[in-house]
Amino acid sequence: MELYWADYLSVGNGVIDSDHRNLIAVIDRVEQAITARDRDALAKAFWLLDSCMYIHFRNEEQIAEAVNFPFAKNGTEHQQLMHEMRHMLKKLESMYSFWPDDLVQTYSIFLNGWIADHIIKTDMQMKPALLAYPYDFKPG
């Protein structure tokens, strides 16, 4: 179940939108590796996702602070999500090459559901504050 970037996903900030595009692309790579049951590709894609998530969350938190958007709760959610993603990878790595179809389906749904919820339900709340700044706004 691949998610595609579309204009309705824009939160009104180029940095955050670019991060979201990257996250969607990397989640697609993770999903492809899980579906193919390719451990090497999965490990690479997961660590890339981990890195992209870290960068995105840092960018998002800095921008939210700069535009005076209350984001404290989201920082905790970001840490929990990073922990969950690492747990998923360790679980798949521990199973070697046998990944049951239901587990593959569960992780695919989780990843696509997470990114959609993250953009639409969480980050979209910042859009009114972000629209008061230029699209290319990035704090200091």
In the chain the domains, ranked by start, together with CATH numbers, are 12-130 (1.20.120.50)
pLDDT at 74: 62
Provide the pLDDT for residue 70: 85
97: tokens are 């090459």
> Tokens 């492809």 sit at which residue?
32
Q: Which residues contact 132 (CB under 8 A, 6 or more apart)?
A: 67
> How far is residue 117's CA from residue 139's CA, in Å, rounded to a whole number?
25
- Using a 10 angstrom Cβ sphere, with 0-12 exposed, 13-18 middle and 19 or more buried, the burial of residue 103 is middle
pLDDT on residue 66:
94
Contact (Cβ atoms closer than 8 angstroms) between residue 135 and residue 13: yes
Along the 140 residues of the chain, how does pLDDT read in single tens digits?
567 889 999 999 999 999 999 999 998 888 888 778 787 887 788 889 889 988 998 999 899 999 999 875 666 676 777 777 777 777 766 766 666 777 777 777 777 788 888 888 888 999 999 999 999 999 97
**Quick one: pLDDT at residue 40?**
82
